[in-house]
């Protein structure tokens, strides 16, 4: 057995305890700080996306089956329309802020409720993007389907959406001259 002088042992223990004590204080301090921050940001008010204005909705302007309408409603409209159905946890920060970021970003890129107000080239382009996003399973976003099981698309659902979007593109080519379906910035 190794003999350790009592003073040395005591000194070592004390040093260890001082260090542990500080560490504990630091950990508790951080926990309290995080809790205070969490409580403070609960007061942040997020303006909900719920105007529901849909007079320019894509389904009013282009043939859209009931099935496709339902698919869009359940898988896309929470982020790409003027009306989001919020989950209960949206009232709590920082989750609510994070969700709102998705909604405002999604709407900025594509708002199905305002679709027929877009220039023809933009309508055409957004449908091209829709085909791509749905085919490549990039939309609806994985972080969304994770919590919204009902929004997960089966292969047949994706096919219906892609066919529908291609149909809208087809209608556009009949409605407008070819030239107006090209982004003016991309024209030579």
- Interface positions with ligand HEC (CB under 6 A): 75-76, 78-80, 102, 105-106, 109-110, 126, 129-130, 133-134, 139-141, 144
Q: Which is nearer to ligand HEC, 83 or 102 (CB)?
A: 102
Q: Which is nearer to ligand HEC, 90 or 139 (CB)?
A: 139
Closest CA to 77 of 110, 55, 118, 121: 110
Q: Which residues fall within 8 angstroms of residue 22, CB to CB, at 6 or more apart?
A: none
SS3 category, 54: coil
Nearest approach, Cβ of residue 141 and ligand HEC (Å): 4
Nearest approach, Cβ of residue 40 and ligand HEC (Å): 26
User: For residues 22 and 131, is the Cβ–Cβ distance under 8 A?
Assistant: no
SS3 category, 81: coil
Nearest approach, Cβ of residue 13 and ligand HEC (Å): 55
Q: Which is nearer to ligand HEC, 5 or 184 (CB)?
A: 184
Distance, CA of 127 to CA of 163 (rounded, Å): 11
Closest CA to 54 of 13, 107, 115: 115
Nearest approach, Cβ of residue 104 and ligand HEC (Å): 8
Q: Which is nearer to ligand HEC, 10 or 146 (CB)?
A: 146
Distance, CA of 104 to CA of 168 (rounded, Å): 24
Closest CA to 158 of 147, 166, 169, 148: 166
Nearest approach, Cβ of residue 183 and ligand HEC (Å): 11
Q: Which is nearer to ligand HEC, 16 or 146 (CB)?
A: 146
Q: Which is nearer to ligand HEC, 4 or 147 (CB)?
A: 147
Write down how long the chain is: 188
Nearest approach, Cβ of residue 41 and ligand HEC (Å): 21
Helix (H) or strand (E) holding 59: helix 58-61
Cis ω on the peptide bond leading into residue 140 (within 30° of 0)?
yes
């Amino acid at each position: 057995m190794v003999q350790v002088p009592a003073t040395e042992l005591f000194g070592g223990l004390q040093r260890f305890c001082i260090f542990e004590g500080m560490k504990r204080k630091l950990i508790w301090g951080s926990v309290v700080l995080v809790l205070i921050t969490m409580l403070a940001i609960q007061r942040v008010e997020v303006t909900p996306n719920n105007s529901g204005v849909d007079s320019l909705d894509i389904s009013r302007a282009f043939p859209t089956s009931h099935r496709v309408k339902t698919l869009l409603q359940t898988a896309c409209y929470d982020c790409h329309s003027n009306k989001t159905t919020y989950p209960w946890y949206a009232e709590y920060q920082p989750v609510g802020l994070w969700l709102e970021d998705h909604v405002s970003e999604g709407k900025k890129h594509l708002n199905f409720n305002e679709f027929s107000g877009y220039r023809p080239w933009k309508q055409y382009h957004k449908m091209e993007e829709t085909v791509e996003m749905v085919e490549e399973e990039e939309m609806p976003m994985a972080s969304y389907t994770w919590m919204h099981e009902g929004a997960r698309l089966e292969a047949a659902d994706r096919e219906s959406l892609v066919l529908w979007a291609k149909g809208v593109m087809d209608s556009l080519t009949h409605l407008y001259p070819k030239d107006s379906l090209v982004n003016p910035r991309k024209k030579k």
